[in-house]
Structure 1
Amino acid sequence: MKNSHLVLTGLALITFLAGSAHSQQANESSSSEFGATITNNSAAPKSAPEGMVWIPGGEFEMGAVVNGHGSGEMPMASNDAEPIHRVRVDGFWMDKTVVTNEQFSKFVEATGYVTIAERVPTKEEFPSAPPENLVAGSVSGPESDIKGKEKYPVVQIAYPDAEAYAKWAGKRLPTEAEYEWAERGGLSGKTYAWGDEFRPNGKWMANTWQGKFPVKDTGEDGYAGLAPVARFPPNGYGLYDMAGNVWEWCSDWYRPDYYAQLAKAGGVAVNPQGPASPLDPSEPNEKKRVHRGGSFLCNDQYCSRYIVGTRGKGEVNTGTNHLGFRCVKEASTKTAGR
């Protein structure tokens, strides 16, 4: 991929031991479904990596209330967001924004990496496809490029592409638990990353779909379709676009029953890494990983998964025009997870 071209093809979440030297802060839950959030308020490590913010470790209630309404309850959450279960994560660094076209281009220039979307499909992969259709993709159709869109999220990125970038950058992709903990921004049981009101005082807080879906996105939030990064307010941890704009890859395999497995095990899940293998009963032959955060295509008429605690999923080799990623970096040794 050259500097002016990116990707197309494929359209397409025991008691906490903070240590005697660590101060803790408990935020009162806004819903009886959610227990208190406990944050380890020890000082952040020195020498912050460029473009990253420190996310303190802590313990919280993970998941969403299915078909709930009101404070702390998530309308249109799907069944895989339950049961709510107790999770502890260690502290970590996280990118302030999703990876941009500009950042990904530097990786490509340094390594010569070619994304899955840009690789020419083979007859062996698609035996029934006409030869004229076996062409490499581009960011939004033939002859399209990313000129002038350097600060936009890089999209059409499959999971191996995101993983390759993260390794090159000395980082990794977040677990689903890390993503939700970071997205909540220190809040407990709130509907959104910023609170319980979708538009507090009439202010747009995320890039989502306005208007009748899928007829027309009216762009009332300032953007019809994809937006540049950091155009909406950050959450309590200083992270931008944790909800809306683009879905984000997490490292966990997807299974709809994984939360039930954790809840059945009891106690607190410490640094959960996701299930050992994937399973989507609706497409059992597809290997899927978790998506989080929702996108500009989400609204309450169709997909309100910009709501905290809700989950998405995607086949690992498929990128879309509303899917990106951000990276995390560990400060030191982590507690073993399950």
Structure 2
Amino acid sequence: MHRNREDAGHPPSCCAPSRTPAAPVSVGIGGPPAAGGGSHRIEQATLTGGRFLMGDSTGDGNRADGETPVHEVEVAPFSIDVTSVTNADFARFVDATGYVTEAESFAFSAVFHLAVAAEPDEIMGPAVGAPWWYGVRGADWRHPGGSRSSVDGLDDHPVVHVSWNDAVAYCAWAGRRLPTEAEWEYASRGGRGGARYPWGDELMAGDGRWRVNIFQGEFPQRNTADDGWPTTAPVRSFEPNGYGLWQTVGNVWEWCADWFDAGYYGRSPLESPAGPIDGAARVMRGGSYLCHSSYCNRYRNAARSSNTPDSSMGNAGFRTVAL
């Protein structure tokens, strides 16, 4: 039932509403060229590249997301951050450049209703079609819940409330880029072929431990946080995959370079696919701490979502790559 609601065009529960109405535009993939010179300190995994089967082979996919057909893809060697970019990493970028994020420029961002920490007059109200999301004035990467919150003590948590455009700006400073969707999935799979998750096919560990930071309880009213985290977790929580990458699924959505097109897999080239040449929204991968099996099961290797490049929210961040 819930999957059909998504297929009918309802916003997925763990994504956020777009900041602006979608309007097709054409921009070169990966944003502006990297300027270099930044202080990017995140540990790297160097991947040899090669061929793999991309897409949903288990039948778990959401039809409207375009996770099929499963198709062979070849990616060139590349290096990738073993974690999402953290608050501390992003702070170094802002301190060095004076960069102002789009959430700060627009003076609001999307916050899950249970995570709001703001004055009553700063809460703009629920989003149409996704009432668990509130527009909150003063919410940004330094204030993830609103003006009454901060990132003090959260240096090792993933930065959130960064738009695709913000992530590309960081990459330009750091001399890096966002991963293509194919690179992201290749890295997330960790060499495990068609497995659902980076660690295999079973959600829970054999001893009942959670392997991922997602929503437990009754979405969206009550999060029991059985995995230990009601919102973001430190980037090195749980266990890394076979390539040494931490939390490619759950915790926060990660922006990819590609424009989103649900029909792209049917015409994707074999070698280094980079997505459509234009579009209205950019690809997001991996799910987040708000994904829940009752509505949004996108905490999987093959799962896809998207949002407009200027949209920001309290459950989306990014990691970077380089050749």
User: Where on the TM-score scale, by shorter chain, does this alignment land: which range?
Assistant: 0.7 to 0.9
What residue ranges of structure 1 are gaps of 5+ in the alignment? 1-9, 13-48, 66-72, 123-129, 263-267, 279-286, 331-338
Q: Residue type of the partner of 2:176?
A: K
Quote the residue 1:160 is aligned against.
165
Q: Is the 8 A contact 1:117 1:156 kept in 2?
A: yes
Q: Give the distance between the partners of 2:321 and 2:243, measured in 1 at CA.
A: 14
Aligned with 1:182: secondary structure?
helix
Give me the identity figure in percent: 42
Q: Is residue 87 of structure 2 the alignment partner of residue 101 of structure 1?
A: yes
Q: Give the distance between the partners of 1:290 and 1:215, measured in 2 at CA.
A: 28
Shift of 1:76: 4.4
Quote the residue 2:274 is aligned against.
273
Shift of 1:120: 4.6
Quote the residue 1:310 is aligned against.
303
Q: Give the distance between the partners of 2:234 and 2:226, measured in 1 at CA.
A: 15
1:82-161 alignment, distance < 5 Å: 82-120=68-106, 137-138=139-140, 139=143, 140-161=145-166
Quote the residue 1:78 is aligned against.
63
Shift of 1:78: 3.0
Q: Residue type of the partner of 1:226?
A: T
Quote the residue 1:34 is aligned against.
none
Counterpart among 27, 42, 50 of residue 58 in structure 1? 50
Q: Give the distance between the partners of 1:289 and 1:253, measured in 2 at CA.
A: 4
Shift of 1:203: 2.5
Query: What is the aligned-residue RMSD (CA, Å)?
Result: 2.4
1:177-256 alignment, distance < 5 Å: 177-201=182-206, 202-256=208-262
The 1:221–1:249 alpha-carbon spacing in structure 2 relative to 1, beyond 3 Å, is same
Report the TM-score, using the length of structure 1 for normalisation. Answer: 0.72
Aligned with 2:266: secondary structure?
helix
Q: Is the 8 A contact 2:138 2:147 kept in 1?
A: no
Shift of 1:191: 1.3
Q: Which has the greater radius of gyration?
A: 1
Q: Is the 8 A contact 1:78 1:310 kept in 2?
A: no
The 1:223–1:184 alpha-carbon spacing in structure 2 relative to 1, beyond 3 Å, is same
Q: Give the distance between the partners of 1:121 and 1:324, measured in 2 at CA.
A: 18
Q: Residue type of the partner of 1:87?
A: V
For residues 193-240 of structure 1, give each alpha carbon's deviation from its aligned partner in whole angstroms, at most 9, with x where no partner exists.
110111131231110111111121111111112111111100000000
Report the TM-score, using the length of structure 2 for normalisation. Answer: 0.75
Aligned with 1:319: secondary structure?
coil
Q: Give the distance between the partners of 1:83 and 1:290, measured in 2 at CA.
A: 17
Q: Is the 8 A contact 1:62 1:87 kept in 2?
A: yes
Quote the residue 1:261 is aligned against.
267
Q: Residue type of the partner of 1:54?
A: T
Q: Which runs of 4+ in 1 moved over 2 A?
A: 74-79, 132-139
For residues 81-111 of structure 1, give each alpha carbon's deviation from its aligned partner in whole angstroms, at most 9, with x where no partner exists.
0111110001111001000000000000000
Q: Is the 8 A contact 2:107 2:139 kept in 1?
A: no
1:314-325 alignment, distance < 5 Å: 314-325=307-318
Shift of 1:121: 5.6
Q: Give the distance between the partners of 2:46 and 2:85, measured in 1 at CA.
A: 17
Q: Is the 8 A contact 2:61 2:67 kept in 1?
A: no
What residue ranges of structure 2 are gaps of 5+ in the alignment? 1-14, 18-40, 109-120, 125-135
Q: Give the distance between the partners of 2:199 and 2:260, measured in 1 at CA.
A: 26
Q: Give the distance between the partners of 1:158 and 1:116, measured in 2 at CA.
A: 7
The 1:227–1:135 alpha-carbon spacing in structure 2 relative to 1, beyond 3 Å, is closer
Aligned with 1:248: secondary structure?
strand
Q: Give the distance between the partners of 1:200 and 1:194, measured in 2 at CA.
A: 10
Q: Residue type of the partner of 2:203?
A: F
